[in-house]
Amino acid sequence: MTDGPDDGAAEREGAVPTDYDGTAYPQAESASDLAGVPDGLSRLWTPHRIAYIEAGGVPSSHECPFCVAPTLSDEQGLIVHRGEHAFVLMNLFPYNSGHLLICPYRHVAGYDETTEAESAEMTHLTQTAMRVLRATSGPAGFNIGMNQGAVAGAGVAAHLHQHVVPRWASDANFFPIIAQTKAIPKLLGDARRELAEAWPV
């Protein structure tokens, strides 16, 4: 063993980061070569949100995203775990890193429309999600709930889904108030992989 530099460091530094679906992010340009006057402000670039903005805050496809997700690979569908009657996936528009959704496979809108097996498994998956999130990221608390109907705030009202949102004491700042923007420090693909690997078999 030597005290020399990490042989893999250069390779990691030169690696092109990718999004959850494998799309490569472009390399950053040096700001010193660009026109403009420094103003002392930092910029938070979130190009992934343009699809959400252009769609008016709703999914751009007419297909149900929660019916489509299970037909894709886990990586493409952002699926963390597949159960018998329900599955767990990352929220494509998360409130916080690790924001999970628990969905039945069956396309039903109301919680009162689920079978006993579906509701029991959703409860079990919610509990497991909390345990896995505690183990991987140590949140101080959770927001857990369902928005039933578009009038109640459901983004996809036609397919039941329960939110599991990890919370930390320092996770709120002024962005949501003045810019309706939430800063998410971890890429969805990285968060999905971390949670899937920690999910009990």
Residue 153 is assigned to a ligand binding site: yes
Q: Give dist(CA 164, CA 139) in Å, integer.
A: 12
96 backbone φψ class: left, alpha, beta (φ>0; ψ -120 to 50): beta
- Report the C-alpha gap between 72 and 61 in whole angstroms: 15
Q: Is 91 annotated as a binding residue?
A: yes
Residue 155 assigned ligand-binding role: yes
Task: Give the span between the Cα atoms of 29 and 81, in whole angstroms.
Answer: 38
Calculate the CA 185 to chain-centre distance: 11
Region label for 146, one of left (φ > 0), alpha (ψ between -120 and 50) or beta (otherwise):
beta
- Residue 161 designated active-site: yes
Count of Cβ atoms closer than 10 Å to residue 77 Cβ = 21
154 labeled part of a ligand binding site: yes
Rounded Cα–Cα distance for residues 15 and 198 (Å): 25
- Residue at token pair 């493409």: 76
Annotated catalytic residue, options 81, 85, 159, 161? 161
120 sits in which H/E element: helix 116-137
Query: Annotated binding site for substrate, which residues?
Result: 91, 153-156, 163
> Could you list the active site residues?
161
Query: Annotated binding site, which residues?
Result: 91, 153-156, 163
